[in-house]
Amino acid sequence: MPTDLIHSLFSNVWSIFLIVLFFGGSIFVHELGHFLAARARGVHVEVFSIGFGPAIFSWKGADGTRYQVAWLPLGGFVLLPQLADLGPIEGESSVAAADLPPVSYATKLLVFVAGASFNILFAFALACVVWVVGQPENNETLSTEIGYVSRTIDLPDGTKVVSPAAQGGLRVGDLVRSIDGNPISDWEDLHNTLIMGSGRDANGNPSAVFVVEREGRTLALTIHPMLSGDERWRQVGIQPGYDLNVHKVEAKSAVAMAGLLPGDRIVSVNGAPIRNAAGLGEELSLKPSSPAHLGVLRGARALDLVVPPRGAALAVGDIEFLAGYHMTYPSPFAQIDQPFMLTLRTVWELINPRSDIGLSKVSGPVGIVHIFHAATEAGLRAVLRFTILINVNLAVLNLLPVPVLDGGQIVFATIARLRGRSLPVNIIVAVQSAFMVLILSMVLYISIFDVQRWRKETAESRPQAPAAAAPAKP
C-alpha cells in the first residue's frame, strides 16, 4: 500500500477520533451538567441522550435512567418531566409529571443553567492546558500595522474597482487603533471587527471609521468597505505588516542576479515602503520590463539592489520568507473572554438590520465538523482552541431566550413563577414544537452553505491536471 495512502487513512481516522472526542465531548459535557444538577436536586431523570431522534443504541442504567446515542448529532437532551414537557421532541416519559413531586423555581434555574456552566468549566479546563503548553502565534498577525494597501478590490461579479483603503487614504505603516470605536488588539480582531461592522453612511452604504496612528499622529479616516469575495464580507483591501526576512532565494532568478541573499530584509521597492509579500509582488509586477530597485537591510548595512527586467514572471515567487512564529501563553480568562465577546457580537449582528452578517455566513454542525477536521491537521493545540470556542458558543447560545433552548425553559419557568401557576401544557408543547421545526430548518439552511464552502475548498486544494498540449501549427 502506498505510503501517502496509509498517511491519508491514518490522518482521516485520527481526525474522526478527535472530532468525536472533542465535539461529541462538548455536547456530552453540556448534558452532563443538566444530569448532575438534576440528580443533586432530587429531580427524576428519565433519559440522558446524546443527539436527537431515534436511538442508535441505548441501555437502562441501575439508576432507572435510559442512556442513549441518537441519530441527529445536533445536540442532546436530558428528559426531565418535572421541569419541562418536551415529549414530542425528546420522547414521552414513562412516568406522568403529575405523579411526581413538584420542583422549586430555584431548582429549575439551577438545572437549566448547569449545562452552560459545565461548558464554561470544560472550556476553562482546556484553556488551562493551552496556558501551560502554549500556542504558536504567527508574527504577521500579532500587530495591527497595515503592511499592504491593495490598489483594487474584486467585487462578487468579478469587477475590479479602486479599493476602499486606497480611496480612503490608508497607508502602509499605519497602526490601526480602533474601528468604529472598538479597540483593535491584533489582526484577527481587526478582521472580525471589520466584517461584523454595521456602520452606514447617509445613503445606506457600508461605512467604517478607522482611527490610525501615523508618524506619531492620530488620524480618523472614514472608509467605505465593499462586500467582496464569495462570502460577500466587508473588505477594504489591506493586509498585515511584517518584516520581509529572506529565507531562500531561487538560483538564477532575477532577484538572485540582483544579489539578494538569505538573511536580507527587504524594506522598499522603488522607494515605496514594503511590509508585506503581496505588496512586494504587486510592486515588482507593475513594470516588469524595467529594472526595479530593492531597498535591503543586510545586517546593519542598507543596500540598493537593482533587479533586472523580469518579463512576465513575478520575482516574488522566487523568494521564500521566514514564517515568524513564536509561542504565547494566554491566560485562561483571556481565552474565554475573546470567544464570549465574539459570540455575543455575532448574535447581535445577526439580528441587526444594518449589519451584512446573515445566517449564510455562520457555521452549523457541518461547518463545525469541517473546521474541526482542519484543526486536526494543524495540530492538537488548534483542536483545543477551537473546542474552547465551541464550548463558549454552546454556553451562550443555549442561554438565549428561545423555546427549546435552556434559556427558553428559564423564560417559561419565570412566567409560571410570576403567574403563580404553570402555563397550559398544550401551549408549551405547541410553541416548543414550532421552534424545533424552525431551528432544524435554520440548521438545514446553514448546512447548505457549509457544504458549498467545504466543496469549494476541496476543489481548490485538489491538484489540477496539466492542460493538454495544443497540436503544432504548420
Q: What is the pLDDT of residues 163-201, one digit of tens each?
A: 999 999 999 999 999 999 999 999 999 999 999 999 999
* CB 112 within 8 Å of CB 410: yes
Contact partners, residue 54, CB within 8 Å, separation at least 6 = 70, 71
Shared-domain flag, residues 63 and 86: yes
Domain boundary among 239, 261, 288: 239
pLDDT above 50 (res 464): no
Alpha helices in 79-200, H assignment, sequence order: 87-90, 105-133, 164-168, 187-195
Structural domain includes residue 469: no
Residue that terminates a domain, selected from 210, 239, 268: 239
If asked whether residues 63 and 175 sit together in one domain, one would say: no
For helices 425-461 and 365-378, what crossing angle results, to 10°?
40
- Are residues 149 and 206 located together in one domain of the fold? yes
Where does residue 302 fall: left (phi above 0), alpha (psi -120 to 50 degrees), or beta otherwise?
beta
Distance CA 265, CA 435 (A): 58
Whether 73 and 182 share a structural domain:
no
Structural domain includes residue 97: yes
Lowest mean pLDDT among 48-57, 158-167, 364-373, 457-466: 457-466
Are residue 158 and residue 271 in the same domain, yes or no? no
pLDDT, residue 469, reads: 33
Mean pLDDT for the stretch of residues 130-138: 90
Domain boundary among 219, 239, 259: 239
Asked whether the predicted pLDDT for residue 363 surpasses 90, the reply is no
Average pLDDT over residues 357-367: 87
Span 77-95, average pLDDT: 64
The rounded distance, in Å, linking the Cα atoms of 319 and 294 is: 13
201 and 121 co-located in one domain: no
Mean pLDDT of the chain: 85
Q: Domain holding 314: CATH number?
A: 2.30.42.60
8 pLDDT more than 70: no
Per-residue pLDDT tens digits for 391-424: 999 999 999 999 889 999 999 999 989 988 888 8
Total structural domains within the chain: 3
Using alpha carbons, select from 423, 428, 417, 427 the residue that is nearest to residue 103.
417
Q: Which CATH number goes with the domain that contains 172?
A: 2.30.42.10
Q: How confident is the model at residue 76 (pLDDT cuts 50, 70, 90)?
A: confident
For residue 244, give the H/E element and its range: strand 244-249
Q: Is residue 281 part of a domain?
A: yes
| Shared domain check, 215 and 173 | yes
In a domain, 372, yes or no: no
404 shares a domain with 295? no
**Percent of the chain residues past pLDDT 90, beyond the cut:** 44
With cut-offs at 50, 70 and 90, classify the pLDDT of residue 465: very low
Q: Does residue 11 sit in the same domain as residue 117?
A: yes
272 within domain boundaries: yes
Return contacts of 251-256, CB within 8 angstroms, 24+ apart. Answer: 253/315, 253/318, 254/307, 254/308, 254/309, 254/310, 254/313, 254/315, 254/318, 255/294, 255/305, 255/307, 255/315, 255/318, 255/319, 256/318
CA 470 to chain CA centroid, Å, is 44
Is residue 87, in this structure, part of any structural domain at all?
A: yes
Question: What pLDDT score was predicted for residue 314?
Answer: 58
Q: Is 60 exceeded by the pLDDT of residue 86? A: no
Do residues 111 and 73 share a domain?
yes
Residue 213 lies in a domain: yes
In single-letter form, the type of residue at position 414 comes to T
Domain limits at 199?
A: 140-239
DSSP annotation of 135 reads E
pLDDT for 396 equals 96
In terms of domains, do 150 and 249 share one? no
Cα 290 off chain centre by: 43
Using alpha carbons, list the distances in angstroms from residue 70 to 17, 73, 75, 77, 443.
Answer: 18, 7, 10, 10, 17
**Judgement on whether residues 292 and 226 belong to the same structural domain of the protein:** no
* Euclidean distance between CA atoms 113 and 121, whole angstroms: 12
Quickly list DSSP for 407-420.
HHHHHHHHHHHHHT
Cα–Cα distance for residue pair 447/58, rounded to 1 Å? 28
Nearest CA to 241 out of 312, 170, 154, 173 is that of: 173
Question: Is the predicted pLDDT of residue 85 greater than 60, yes or no?
Answer: no
Contacts of 78 (CB under 8 A, 6+ apart): 31, 34, 35, 38, 45, 47, 48, 49
> In b/e form, how buried is each residue of 160-173, taking b as 16+ CB within 10 angstroms?
eeebbbbebebbbb
The mean per-residue pLDDT over the stretch 10-25 comes to: 81
Q: Cell 483591501: give the residue.
A: 237
What is the pTM (predicted TM-score) of this model? 0.82
Mean pLDDT of 287-311: 87
Query: Has residue 351 been placed in a domain?
Result: no
User: How far is residue 255's CA from residue 263's CA, in Å, rounded to a whole number?
Assistant: 14
pLDDT at 467 over 50: no
